[in-house]
Chain A
Amino acid sequence: MVVRHDIVSKFCSYACFAEGKFQRWVLKARLKAEFEKLLAQSEEKLGEVFWSLYWFKRWQERQERIAQAHLEAYLQEPCYWAAKTFLTHVEGSNYSLADCFQMAAMETVKVLQHFQPAVGQHLAKYAQYSFANLLRETFRCQGEVDICTDWALLRKISEKTLRAALSQHSTVTIESLVLCWKTFKQVYVPKPGNTRKLETPDAETLGSLVQIYNSRILTASLSLSRLRDGSTALLWLQKCATAVRQYLHPAVTSLNIPLTEEGGELQDQLPDPQQTEDLTEVLIQLEAYQEREWQKQELKNCLTTTIANLPQESQQILAGYYQHHWTQKQLSEKLQLSQPTINRRLQKARQTLLQSLVTWLQQTMNITPSADILKSSADLLEEWLDQYYGATL
């Protein structure tokens, strides 16, 4: 991948993939024109961090589509690197780089929602590890979906996911299917053994499902469809399972849409960009970021000392996880330790580091720890570890 250098391409171009691989950057004319207008108006030359904070502020405060488009363009690179690193370390994936990139890119809004500029986070760096985390989580979930039978799957999904999976149906259909599923969960109980390979419910279970469902619809606020018999119940449940599978595990082919096609839609939807009247807040955030850059060395000294004092094995685990991007399962194989042991040591190491970081904030910066400070410190630590162990950006 060619790294974008000038500020206009960073905020106005999108990655184009061909045959699953990165091909080139495509500059969006409309975005470019508007952004250049803005650049001409600003007196001093402001860099990438300023503009990321600027668009983020407009996106957050006014939900402007153009701000989101600039941020999406800007986050294409962290998204690409997260996907690439992820694929290098995942075993037996059927996905191409373009698929992974697309899956991560779909989560851009989620990533933006959790970004906290007030604590001096760098958007692109924060986004890269967030994309990587989201990809890991998506694949963990898909791995489970793959090995579950329909009946196990139905016991192992949340109502939220089921509703999302059924969203294209009418309200009555959705409510009927959800109630049928709820009743199924009530009457169909697994036995300890293989809870991922549950078998088709027997006639007796289906019989009581039908009976309970039909009595529950009497008190439902909507007039829901009655269940005729056990085989109808079976059909309804299979419909739920299929929808959930498709929702949680979209077929690879559906993801192979060239990303540049979005351009056409964007042209029509863009409102005229408005100049943000007050840039003070953005500049304060920029200052917070720069101040943090300045403090970075001190923070680095504090955290590297903490790392050096960790047990040798914990240091190996941290390096494996953040530098080589090994999964906890891979770490467990390489270090001959059980997965829960790896998990506990990794958590313990991160906890020790978080404590050092918060104590450092307390002592050097006079910051009183609160729940929010701890949360942002955990984010900061994550970003720091990612960089310290040399993530590519």
Chain B
Amino acid sequence: MTVQFYSTLLEIPPQLKAQALREYRKYPRPQEGWQYLLNYLVAKTVVNWLREELGGKPSISDTPTWQFVNGVKISLEGINLVVLPDESIDRASLVIPREWVEHPDWVGDYFFAATVDIDREMVELWGFCDYSAIKQATIDYQDQNYILDRSKLSCDLNLWLSYRQFNIPLAPKVVNSVPQLASTRVNNLTDRLALTSIISPRLAIPFSDWLSLLHERRALERLGLLRQGQRVKSVTNLRDWWAGIFSSEWQEPALSYGYALRGEEEKITRLRQMMFTTEGETVQLYILVSLTKKSQQEVGVLFQLLAPPDQRLPILEVAIRDAEGNTVITTATQGNESLLKLRSFSCTSGDQFSLVLQYKNETITEEFTI
């Protein structure tokens, strides 16, 4: 470090702040909302800056832990930047959650300290270091953080920009692999962490378990929704259906609904009852899933929503999302139909997706894997 303080000031555009506050309000727990807000503002502001400054296509990695862990990862041409929101005014040290150093999928090549000043609508990048500097950090096992003294940081972002220009090689990273957890353990941990009494999930279980849980994107998303007070069902494995294994809630249409289907060998259809209870009213409907074997690997999936006999479907927003959380199909009911047929799509073994139904302010998410 030099005795220089050339921080880089970035403006938070008003529309970005407004969007961030809308996201913030989705979190009933203030700690999670605040953490998400800081991560969101930093990620978007820094990506915009990188795009302007360097061109290229910087991208923000995974978001399902933004409300739990401080920091966001931005990838730029194969380099991982971990930007860490910081509220301190003394700027005495950079606090790096252990996840960003010890998890192979998370580890950063560079770590940036970013003061977020929501009042003044500014993000200030005031220091950075590369992976090799972490060796000089101390570890706080109480809060599971690496603490790097300010004197070990470079305080001039121009240096970082010049590293790129003069092709300064990246410091090599040595990160141990993090074992995967059995699916029952993943479900148990997720259910445990969803408890309202837990303030910080990352500190509530052994840290090695938490690191392993970070492999499980679906589980983290489920945890996020559970902690937001949303109802989330466990994952339905559609592959089991070909082996004749069905969990009790998935019924044969003919039995539970009187909905007779033409028998086909290469097709399976099951139906499940759903219920929204919102603002004191209860609304019922059925989800009908039809699987068609297209080839050894490929399966066609068709979702239909059915109203109870002689009733209409409520006004719903319906979406199918892929494993990355991208919406692949979206539609809505008008309130006058008794059946809504979604566009069918093809999946191959290992694919994951979810069906998201929103009625008024209540959301139901159904997870599937094939």
Contact = CB atoms under 8 A, between A and B. Distances in A.
Interface of A: 110-111, 113-114, 130, 133-134, 136-137, 141, 144-145, 148, 153, 155-161, 179, 182, 186-187, 189-196, 212, 216, 220, 248, 328, 338-340, 343-344, 347, 350-351, 354-355, 358, 369-371, 374-375, 378-379, 382
A108 B88 CA distance: 24
B199 A157 contact: no
B324 interface: no
5 contacts: A136-B5, A144-B89, A158-B93, A195-B87, A379-B2
A369 B34 CA distance: 42
Nearest to B143: A182
B162 A161 contact: no
Nearest to B200: A186
Contacts of B24: 192
Contacts of B154: 375
Contacts of B33: 189
A285 B3 CA distance: 21
Contacts of B157: 347
B3 A114 contact: yes
B175 interface: no
B240 interface: no
A378 B3 contact: no
Query: Looking at chain B's contact residues, is the secondary structure mostly helix, strand, loop, or mixed?
Result: mixed
A189 B200 contact: no
Interface stretch (B8-16, B58-66, B181-189, B206-214): B8-16
Contacts of B4: 130, 133, 378-379, 382
Interface of B: 1-11, 21, 24, 30-31, 33-34, 37, 87-93, 95, 117-119, 122, 130, 140, 142-143, 147, 149, 151, 154, 156-159, 161-163, 165-166, 168, 199-200
Contacts of B7: 343
Contacts of B119: 193-196
B93 A156 contact: no
A347 B158 contact: yes
Contact of B168 (A134, A193, A370): A370
Contact of A110 (B3, B11, B118): B3
Contacts of A375: 2, 154, 159
Query: Looking at chain A's contact residues, is the secondary structure mostly helix, strand, loop, or mixed?
Result: helix
Given A145-B89, A192-B37, A186 B31 contact: yes
B349 to A, nearest CB: 43
B228 to A, nearest CB: 16
B3 A130 contact: yes
B166 to A, nearest CB: 4
B6 A350 contact: yes
Given A182-B142, A189-B33, 18 more contacts: A114-B3, A133-B4, A136-B5, A141-B89, A141-B91, A145-B89, A157-B88, A158-B93, A159-B93, A160-B90, A160-B92, A182-B143, A190-B34, A192-B118, A351-B158, A354-B158, A354-B162, A375-B159
A212 to B, nearest CB: 7
B89 A340 contact: no
A189 B158 contact: no
B109 to A, nearest CB: 13
A378 B89 contact: no
A137 to B, nearest CB: 5
A128 B142 CA distance: 41
A159 B4 CA distance: 22
A360 B9 CA distance: 29
Given A134-B3, A350-B6, A158 B168 contact: no
A114 B159 contact: no
B8 A344 contact: yes
Contacts of A340: 9-11, 122
A378 B93 CA distance: 22
Contact of B30 (A191, A196, A354): A191
B10 A378 contact: no
A122 to B, nearest CB: 15
A374 B166 contact: yes
A158 B88 contact: yes
A344 B90 contact: no
Contact of B89 (A136, A157, A347, A374): A157
A351 B162 contact: yes
Nearest to A371: B168
Contacts of B156: 378
Contacts of A195: 87, 117-119
Contacts of B159: 354, 371, 374-375, 378
Given A144-B89, A148-B89, A343-B8, A189 B34 contact: yes
A387 to B, nearest CB: 16
A111 B8 contact: no
Given A186-B31, A347-B8, A369-B166, A192 B21 contact: yes
Nearest to B11: A340
Contact of A156 (B5, B30, B89, B122): B89
B30 A371 contact: no
B34 A378 contact: no
A316 B9 CA distance: 19
Contacts of A344: 8-9
B205 to A, nearest CB: 14
B168 A374 contact: yes
Contact of A133 (B5, B11, B149, B168): B5
A216 B6 CA distance: 39
B161 A141 contact: no
A148 to B, nearest CB: 7
B129 to A, nearest CB: 11
A248 to B, nearest CB: 6
A64 to B, nearest CB: 22
Contacts of A153: 89
A369 B5 contact: no
A158 B115 CA distance: 13
Contacts of B158: 347, 350-351, 354, 378
A159 B147 contact: yes
Nearest to B3: A130
A137 B5 contact: yes
A144 B130 CA distance: 29
Contacts of A194: 119
B142 to A, nearest CB: 7
A161 B92 contact: yes
- Residue in B4, B119, B154 with the greatest tally of chain A CB atoms within 10 Å: B4
Contacts of B130: 371
A155 B90 CA distance: 11
Contacts of A141: 89-91
Contacts of A374: 159, 162-163, 166, 168
A248 B9 CA distance: 23
A218 to B, nearest CB: 13
The 3 closest A-B pairs by CB, nearest first: A130-B3, A343-B9, A144-B89
